Amino acid sequence: MRIWPLILLMSAACGEAVTPPLSYDAEVDPGEPLVEPPELELPDDRCDQAAPDPCDPSPCHPGVQCEVVEGWGIRCGSCPEGMVGDGFECAPPPRLEIHEFDYDQPGSDTAEFIEIVNVGEHPASLVGMRVELVNGGNSQVYRAVALDPIGTLEPGAFAVLAAPLVEVPEEVPVIRMPASAWLQNGPDAIVLLDAEGEALDLVVYGGTLEGYAPEWHVDVLDTGHAGSLSRIAPGGPFVLACEPTPGRPNVGPCE
Residue 43 has a pLDDT of 57
pLDDT above 60 for 125:
yes
Rg (CA), the chain: 30
Q: Model confidence over 13-39: pLDDT tens digits?
A: 455 554 545 444 445 455 555 555 556
Q: Is 127 helix (H, G, I), strand (E, B) or coil?
A: coil
Nearest to 230, CA basis, from 222, 242, 218, 238: 238
Strand 158-162, strand 174-176: pairing: parallel
Average pLDDT of the segment spanning 197-212:
95
Q: What pLDDT, on the 0 to 100 scale, is given for residue 100?
A: 97
- pLDDT of res. 136: 96
User: What separation in angstroms does the CA of 244 have from each of 63, 79, 87, 128?
Assistant: 45, 40, 41, 28
Q: Find out whether 246 and 115 touch, Cβ atoms under 8 Å.
A: yes
For residues 44 and 48, give the distance between their C-alpha atoms in angstroms, rounded to a whole number.
8
pLDDT digits (tens, 9 = 90+) for 142-184: 999 999 999 999 999 999 999 999 999 999 999 999 887 899 9
pLDDT, residue 9, reads 37
Measuring CA to CA, how many Å separate 80 from each of 16, 84, 106, 182?
47, 8, 50, 41
Q: What whole-number percentage of the chain has pLDDT above 90?
A: 58
CA 19 to chain centre: 51
Distance CA(143)–CA(135), nearest Å, equals 9
On average, the pLDDT of the chain sits at 84
Residues in the chain: 255
Q: What percent helix, strand, coil does the chain show, rounded to 5?
A: 5, 30, 65
pLDDT tens figures, 77-113: 999 988 888 899 888 888 999 999 999 988 788 899 9
Q: Does the pLDDT of residue 205 top 60, yes or no?
A: yes
* From 14-23, 60-69, 125-134, 180-189, the region with the lowest mean pLDDT: 14-23
pLDDT the model gives residue 162 = 97
Query: Which residue stretches of 134-177 are H helix?
Result: none
Which of 2, 4, 1 minimizes the C-alpha distance to 55? Answer: 4
CA–CA–CA angle 113, 114, 119 (5° rounding): 150
Buried residues in 35-59 as b, exposed as e (16+ CB within 10 A)? eeeeeeeeeeeeeeeeeeebeeebe
Residue 50 pLDDT level (bands cut at 50, 70, 90): low
Domains of the chain by range and CATH?
53-91 (2.10.25.10), 96-241 (2.60.40.1260)
pTM of the complete model beyond 0.75:
no
Give the closest residue to 229 by CA, choosing from 193, 205, 200, 201: 205
